[in-house]
Structure 1
Amino acid sequence: MAASTSTPPGPPEPVGRNSKGRDAATSYKWDRLSRPVQVLVGVGVATGVVVIYNGASGLIGHVFNVVLLFLFASVVALILNPVVDLLQRLPGFRSHRGPAVLALYLVIFSAIGGVVALVIPNLVDQAKHIPQLVSQLQHGLADRGIDVNLGAVLPSSSSLPGNAVSVVAGVATTVADIILVVVISIYLLIDGRGLVATMRNLFPENPHRFDFALLATGSTMAAYVRGQSLMSLIIGAYTALTLTLIGVHYAIVIGVAAFLLEFVPIIGAILAMALAVVVALLQGPLVAGLAAIAGLVGHALEAYVVGPRIAGHVTKLHPLVAMAALLIGADVGGILGALFAVPLAAIANIFLGAFYRSRRGEVAITTADDGTVDAESLPRLGDEIEAVEDAGVEGRPVPHFRDAADGAE
């Protein structure tokens, strides 16, 4: 008789290990809850999700705004850095960059203050006559058989306080952002070289790629400032000439104001045109209408024809790309976003181009014994090389890029 073999029974399964039983118990407990309690729990969970989402969105928005401010400040520092280098050659500024930076900002803010002191009082004085001018305009239109109720078109006095509060809040926010950008840019101008050295260490294998990108970026920013100055000069001359031909008083002063306001995108041209129309209203509706037409034509030419072409030429961007960058910057960052949109797009274009060539193995920038920078694997690096070679600043070595064929010889 064969001995029977039997498997000894295993240890009993611990209580709570049965997932089916646990799910059934949970479902039983949830079903035991009354319907109002289930609704309250669902509403509470949904509310928590919404609160967490809104909090995360707000945090991301604040972080994004801070990053934008640092980007704007970096662009300002890149633009003003050559001027600080020039000031450091003067006696009294050679020992440290701080006095040169502060002197530069003192000159900038003094110029802005002078323009404000010149334009704003005249604008306020002219604004006092707006109700009388509106009445005269309405009577003049009525005499010509045009029945227009300008009081219904213009904002009523009851809505002015609310509009004033929103305008003041927007202006205060913009001023605070500008102050932060100025403060950050001052720190970057004074001690930015230490930050640049730290960033350069992120490229230990070939740090001269970073040197090339930095020099090309500085060259692009200098070209952008030259282009924007040319655009402002064109708009200022156009404004002064057209208003003089129309017969508007203070045409030269308004032209100077238009030149300075043109550096502020979108709103600058609008303010210059509004100033011209308000001054022209004192001379009658016909002169004001002609001034408005001249301003609209100038604004259209600046926004859609001349401006994108100049910005695209000096920054190596297609005019459509420059226009798209301007629109996106205005939508994302408001006035500051519009002001720095094209320079940031140009910087991104340089770095993306360098990264693309590096991934294809076309860029190998090294340093020769004499301190020059070579592009050994490229027959020609393109317009970026010419931009960097042409952007020589005294007191700083200008890189020289040698072709592979030249190096072989």
Structure 2
Amino acid sequence: MRVPVQKQMIWWGVAVASLLIVMWLLGQAILPFILGAGVAYLLDPVADRLERAGLSRTMAVVLITVGAVLLFVAVILLVVPVLVRQASALISTAPEMFEHARAFISARFPEILPEGGTIGTALTDLGKGMGEQLTNVAQTLLNSFGGMISAVALLVIVPVVAFYLLLDWDRMVAQIDRLLPREHAPVLRDLASQIDHALSGFVRGQGLVILILGTWYSLALMLVGLPFGFFIGMMAALLSFIPYVGVLIGGATAIGVALFSFWGDPVWIGAVVAIFALGQVVEGNYLQPKIVGSHVGLHPVWLLLALSVFGSLFGFVGMVAAVPLAAALGVLARFGIERYRESAFYTGQTSPADPPPPLLVEIAPRGTVASQLKEAREQAEISRAEAGILPRSHDRKNI
């Protein structure tokens, strides 16, 4: 007997609620496992390609693990110290640059910022307060980041979990597929495929775009001699997953630093502007259409909402899981909208009832049934005679 829809909805609701409760109660404990699963998911296509090239699954996973560990160590030793040093220097220099900008505007346009005026005093206080707050925020972030990096759980458990999940990824997916409810298995497979398409397209595609833009901005700004150029380029690239935000914030910061450092030398200021203009042209016309594409379906506003909501509910674990959860919720929302448009509530017309099962009628020649009945009586009389049983007609006469 088919399970009612209401009961199925209760079961699925209980499963989702249980997942959210587990994330809320065991956030920090399951963080290494979530990160390991994310790493395995991102590297699974690489392992599949190495398998198609002739390597065994074990050798492919070992090769990927060694390469990932070497890359991670190189980033920690070479990139992170430079980023931390330049970020600290930029934060400490920001109030001075802000004060120079205020003094320049007051000298050139006194009617905008009169000496001793309310706006000028407010901007001065804002600059001092901004410097203090940025210093506090940066110190907190650096302390948190240092504690997170130094945690043994993240440095040991994440690679181990990623290694074993990557090794058994295909078997794990096949096992999960066998556990799907048979009635809904085709729909669940289709939804999972759409989630994978959206998530992989955004994470892998946008990650490659960020890597290309970060390399370009950082190296180009360092070549023109811009102070803090490496940090500004990386910051602009990381924020580029939100359209125009990365180039606006990174470009404004870079141009502000260039005005402060290269004042009186417009060639280098123009070079900084040209670097961001070229990066924006390449990103908008080549990188985003070719790598990410327009079919991903993970809108930046939706992603920011997911990061804010899940981050406030589940902390850092929620922020890590926000991207896959946003992709899943987006696919489920589109699926629900499609079903809503097909429903009677939207169309105003009830769906026709299912037709009854067809009645099978066998057409036989006239007299077929009578002939079969006669043969059955004769066979019964023969069986009775062989068994020594008197015919029914003879019993009636004796009575």
Q: Which has the higher contact order (CA 8 A, sep 6+)?
A: 2
Judging by fraction of residues, say which structure has more helix: 2
